[in-house]
């Protein structure tokens, strides 16, 4: 089958399901989880017990001798920015998974983008990790933008990924000036980078979404296998029938992700972990419901 035709078939399949989910199962969660993320300054008022001290305007307070806080109103137009890792490791699918990690990311992106469209919000896209300059699609409204987001993710060229996440963060900050809800989708196999994540979380409402495959987490006792590192192209033959080897792999991966989790918890960044062999919608809905409660509080 022609590769372009195959990609368009996948785009169409993802689009149909995403439209339905956005209109029925996810629209409410998205709207409540996004409410209050975009704020414009409105006016000043006197401080009252229970107000967030972060909103105290110290210049006005010093001038008047009375504590004043800044009031804000919610922007009518909000922005969703989807930053998707398209490196080689994201193109893997184990025998238990129908979709690659990248295709799973495309499905999640589609549901979020269509939810944004239904809410009258803009959605944009940044692709990184193929060893070339990142691809940036400026935020825009409408169904055509949603379709293009899915298409660009699926047709992104493969290649050896850039492991410098700091460069990715700088590009996001350089291209997206206005505050946005930034959904960062990756398998996060690159080194944890606290400064880069901190910068992104300071500027945007950052939500990292980690996507794993079951075989990566728990390799089967498959005997001798030939493996290719999709990031470097390096090949190796290993015996997965050796329990100690599988245990060492699992331990190393757990340690790597524990470092990422510790970093995100330190920075107070809400995050989500998904698997390609499981339904992504229930945990995604729980995430947005959790955010809604935090915003209301």
pLDDT above 90: residue 114: yes
Q: Look at domain 3-34+77-296 and name its CATH class.
A: alpha beta
- Give the contacts of 200 (CB within 8 A, at least 6 positions apart): 169, 172, 173, 182, 184, 206
Q: Phi, psi (5° rounding) for residue 21?
A: -65, -40
pLDDT above 50: residue 91: yes
Could you read off the pLDDT of 194-208 as tens digits, one per residue? 999 999 999 999 999
Looking at residue 184, its pLDDT comes to: 97
Distance CA 248, CA 8 (A): 40
Band (pLDDT 50/70/90 cuts) for residue 160 is low
| For range 158-187, the mean pLDDT | 86
Looking at residue 42, its pLDDT comes to: 60
| For range 48-70, the mean pLDDT | 78
Place of tokens 């972060």: 54
Distance CA 250, CA 216 (A): 8
| For range 170-199, the mean pLDDT | 93
| For range 111-140, the mean pLDDT | 90
Could you read off the pLDDT of 235-294 as tens digits, one per residue? 778 777 788 888 888 899 999 999 999 999 999 999 999 999 999 999 998 888 887 665
E runs forming strands in 27-134: 39-46, 68-74, 79-85, 122-128
| For range 134-144, the mean pLDDT | 93
Band (pLDDT 50/70/90 cuts) for residue 104 is very high
pLDDT above 50: residue 296: no
pLDDT above 60: residue 36: no
Domain ranges, ordered by start, for the chain = 3-34+77-296, 39-74
Looking at residue 236, its pLDDT comes to: 76
């Amino acid at each position: 089958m022609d590769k372009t035709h195959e990609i368009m078939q996948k785009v169409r399949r993802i689009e149909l399901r995403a439209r339905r989910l956005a209109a029925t199962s996810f629209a409410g969660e998205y709207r409540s989880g996004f409410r209050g993320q975009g704020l414009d300054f409105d006016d000043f008022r006197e401080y009252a017990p229970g107000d967030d001290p972060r909103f105290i305007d110290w210049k006005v307070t010093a001038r008047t001798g009375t504590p004043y806080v800044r009031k804000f109103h919610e922007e009518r137009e909000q922005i969703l920015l989807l930053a998707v890792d398209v490196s080689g490791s994201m193109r893997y699918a184990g025998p238990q998974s129908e979709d690659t990690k990248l295709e799973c990311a495309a499905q999640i992106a589609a549901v979020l983008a269509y939810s944004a469209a239904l809410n009258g919000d803009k959605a944009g896209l940044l692709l990184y990790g193929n060893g070339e300059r990142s691809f940036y699609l400026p935020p825009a409204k409408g169904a055509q933008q949603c379709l293009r987001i899915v298409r660009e993710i699926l047709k992104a060229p493969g290649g050896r990924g850039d492991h410098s996440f700091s460069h990715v963060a700088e590009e996001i900050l350089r291209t997206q000036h206005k505050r946005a809800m930034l959904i960062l989708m990756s398998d996060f196999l690159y080194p944890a980078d606290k400064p880069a994540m901190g910068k992104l979380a300071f500027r945007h409402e950052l939500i990292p979404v980690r996507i794993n495959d079951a075989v990566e987490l728990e390799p089967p006792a498959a005997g001798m296998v030939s493996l290719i590192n999709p990031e470097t192209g390096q090949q190796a033959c290993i015996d997965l029938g050796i329990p100690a080897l599988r245990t060492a792999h699992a331990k190393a991966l757990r340690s790597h992700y524990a470092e990422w989790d510790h970093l995100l918890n330190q920075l107070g960044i809400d995050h989500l972990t998904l698997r390609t062999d499981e339904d992504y919608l229930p945990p995604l809905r729980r995430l947005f419901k959790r955010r809604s409660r935090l915003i209301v509080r």
